[in-house]
Structure 1
Amino acid sequence: MKSTQRARGIVQAVAVVLSLALPLISAVSPADARIGGGVSSGSRGARTFSAPPSTSTAPNAAQPFNRTITQPASPGLGTPAGGGFFNRPGMGMLGGLAAGFLGAGLLGMLFGGGMFGGLGGLSSIIGLMLQIGLIIIVVRLAMSWWQRRHETASAYAGGPAGPGASPSFRTATGFGLGSGSAPLEIVPSDYEAFERLLGEIQAAWSNEDVARLHTMATPEMVSYFAGDLEKNKARNVVNKVSGTKLLQGDLAEAWREGDTDYASVALRFSMVDQTVDRATGRLVEGSEQPTEATEVWTFLRPRGGNWELSAIQQT
């Protein structure tokens, strides 16, 4: 009897939870219909697996990527192919030899044969000199590796901005520098390009114009957009986003990798997001009233080229 009552109570609790959750799901689903599907997609170069800094526009951390072609072990991501101190890039044959000698020496010490007990029991003055030389080599390698690591971190952490930049920089478009100065200078024309791409990409998405999207986004992002559009076609619906208006924007970070510039920008914008039946135009999801969204868009630009969308992250 008690077990029956307990089972009935569990069923009632589940029913209550579902009744509360369904309205929330209905409220969230329209926001997921816009371009990007409400998930985090794309790549941020060597920073794909590190979150962009928070800004006043997007104080919450950006979500990790749900869809990306970048792999954690890809070259240029700062992840060595193997573990261990002596497997660092740039150590080369010298590092390998030092590791071998050091390992053999430590092994000899463990077995009571001295530092070079594992190499034939050298105990002469020559052995002592070799030990001292080996220690100097290892220390210099460690210091060199540490110095290179800090130089790289300093270059990407945000040094002084280029001429004309200011931590309080604002443009008529509503962009602000946000997280502070960056090693890559972002000028007013760049902010204007970001805002223009925000609207034009949404328009191309609404028109299901994949060819147009190819001119404004990376092949990776277009592949995701094309897949999402095909899913809409399979459902016999089309997502229409109109009236896109930038409300606030902040630069999260900007950097350079080789001949490619990157800029991650927090965007808060309003839009009318509607999903309608493809044949009748009947509203299926969304609303005729404007809604707001906050996302982090990353743009890349080949040296001398134009900005294009490289990633969208939810906040």
Structure 2
Amino acid sequence: MATPKTGRRRLATMLALAAALAVTAAPVVEARPGGGGGSFGSRGSRTYSPPAGTATSPGATAPIQRSQTAPSPGMSNPGMQANSGRRFGGGFFAGLLGAGLLGALVGGGFFGGLGGIASFLGLLLQIGLLVGLAMLAVNFFRRRQSGTPAMAANAPSARTNLNGAGGGAMGGMGLGGGSAAPQGQPVAIQPADYEAFERTLYEVQTAYGREDLGTLRRVATPEMVGYFEEELRANAQRGVVNRISDVKLLQGDLSEAWREGPTEYATVAMRFTLKDETFDRSTQRAVENGPTEAKEFWTFVRERGGTWLLSAIQQGR
């Protein structure tokens, strides 16, 4: 038969575990490629630098979370920086909370020697203090990392509406807010390039909905195709299929375009609508609907004079 002290100890442990789960719970994942706040891929030497804000997306941009590009010598652990927003508190908070839980399990807590109700109240006080300290630390580092997005100080101020007389569907994508960043030489982006970007937006979304890896390999880099394959395999394991349709670009503009040797890069901000639905594979019953509008930064890469390929997706705000 459990003693009152044992019961209080178990209750304290359960409360602490509940607090840990509450602050480390994963966000709801959207089904579309890059959904759920995912940001992944490569942007050459600018992979771990935020793209310049634009009129389409002037706020802070989610950092790259997964990339095959090696960090620069000045960035010792880009993964820690990139994933800072994905999980509250990170390893620092988890380590401290784990120490408190271990103490509760063995009967002491941080303030060993305080038995009974005093130990229980002390553990709750510790959890509250740790949560407060972790929130302050996370907010402080987020402010330092986000900063003020670079705006279009050096880019052409005129915007180009590419909706020609033929009624094209560009939705206003044109020269926007991109400024030249330190790495690489600026590259001029032409109307045909914007048309290619919009076409790739449509092809990637709809091919993902069809699970058409052949089309994805044609319009995206091998790295990006690898990430898409992982997501599609995860859908298959869950027994669901994600179908995307009615993709329409509402607004888009250039963030930055540059050259590194023979390789050219262009990052554009795009706001678009889509129909994002997830169905059960066996019954074809709809199980969830994603958001109808998205705002993202897409980076494209090509060898000089070649075809643009999608090389990164980052969530905009």
User: TM-score normalised by the shorter chain: which range applies?
Assistant: 0.5 to 0.7
Does the 8 Å CA contact 2:52/2:178 hold for their aligned counterparts? no
Q: Which residue of 1 aligns with 2:260?
A: 257
Give CA deviations for 1:94-133 in whole Å, capped at 9, x if unaligned: xxxxxxxxxxxxxxxxxxxxxxxxxxxxxxxxxxxxxxxx
The correspondence for 1:171, drawn from 155, 162, 169, is 162
Q: State the TM-score, normalized to the length of structure 1.
A: 0.62
Does the 8 Å CA contact 1:36/1:224 hold for their aligned counterparts? no
The equivalences for 1:205-284 within 5 A come to: 205-284=208-287
**What percentage of aligned pairs have identical amino acids?**
52
Distance 1:159 1:255, change over 3 A: farther
Secondary structure of the residue aligned to 1:250 is: strand
Give CA deviations for 1:10-58 in whole Å, capped at 9, x if unaligned: 96xx79x97xxx9x96xx54xx210124300100001001100011111
Report how many aligned residue pairs link the two structures: 224
Q: Does 1:295 align with 2:296?
A: yes
Does the 8 Å CA contact 2:53/2:178 hold for their aligned counterparts? no
Q: Name stretches of at least 5 consecutive residues in structure 2 with no aligned partner.
A: 77-150, 164-169, 181-185
- Measured in 2, the distance between the counterparts of 1:53 and 1:159 equals 10
Give CA deviations for 1:34-92 in whole Å, capped at 9, x if unaligned: 0124300100001001100011111112111111011214xxxxx3799xxxxxxxxxx
- Measured in 1, the distance between the counterparts of 2:305 and 2:157 equals 24
Distance 1:293 1:234, change over 3 A: same
Q: Which residue of 2 aligns with 1:139?
A: none
Q: Does 1:204 align with 2:200?
A: no
- Measured in 2, the distance between the counterparts of 1:232 and 1:285 equals 13
Does the 8 Å CA contact 2:54/2:178 hold for their aligned counterparts? no
Give CA deviations for 1:150-176 in whole Å, capped at 9, x if unaligned: xxxxxxx98977xxx763222111113
Aligned partner letter, 2:205: Q
The correspondence for 2:197, drawn from 180, 194, 197, is 194
Q: Which residue of 2 aligns with 1:131?
A: none
RMSD of equivalent CA atoms: 3.5
Larger Rg: 1
Q: Which residue of 2 aligns with 1:49?
A: 48
The equivalences for 1:36-185 within 5 A come to: 36-38=34-36, 39-73=38-72, 79=73, 167-172=158-163, 173=170, 174-180=172-178, 183-185=186-188
- Measured in 1, the distance between the counterparts of 2:75 and 2:282 equals 53
Q: State the TM-score, normalized to the length of structure 2.
A: 0.62
Does the 8 Å CA contact 2:174/2:194 hold for their aligned counterparts? no
Q: Name stretches of at least 5 consecutive residues in structure 1 with no aligned partner.
A: 74-78, 83-156
Does the 8 Å CA contact 2:173/2:194 hold for their aligned counterparts? yes
Aligned partner letter, 2:276: D
Does the 8 Å CA contact 1:237/1:275 hold for their aligned counterparts? yes
Secondary structure of the residue aligned to 2:219 is: coil
Aligned partner letter, 2:42: S
Does the 8 Å CA contact 2:300/2:310 hold for their aligned counterparts? yes
- Measured in 2, the distance between the counterparts of 1:292 and 1:281 equals 24
Secondary structure of the residue aligned to 1:199 is: helix
Q: Which residue of 1 aligns with 2:93?
A: none
- Measured in 1, the distance between the counterparts of 2:58 and 2:154 equals 23
Name segments (4+ residues, structure 1) moved above 6 Å: 157-161
- Measured in 1, the distance between the counterparts of 2:75 and 2:271 equals 39
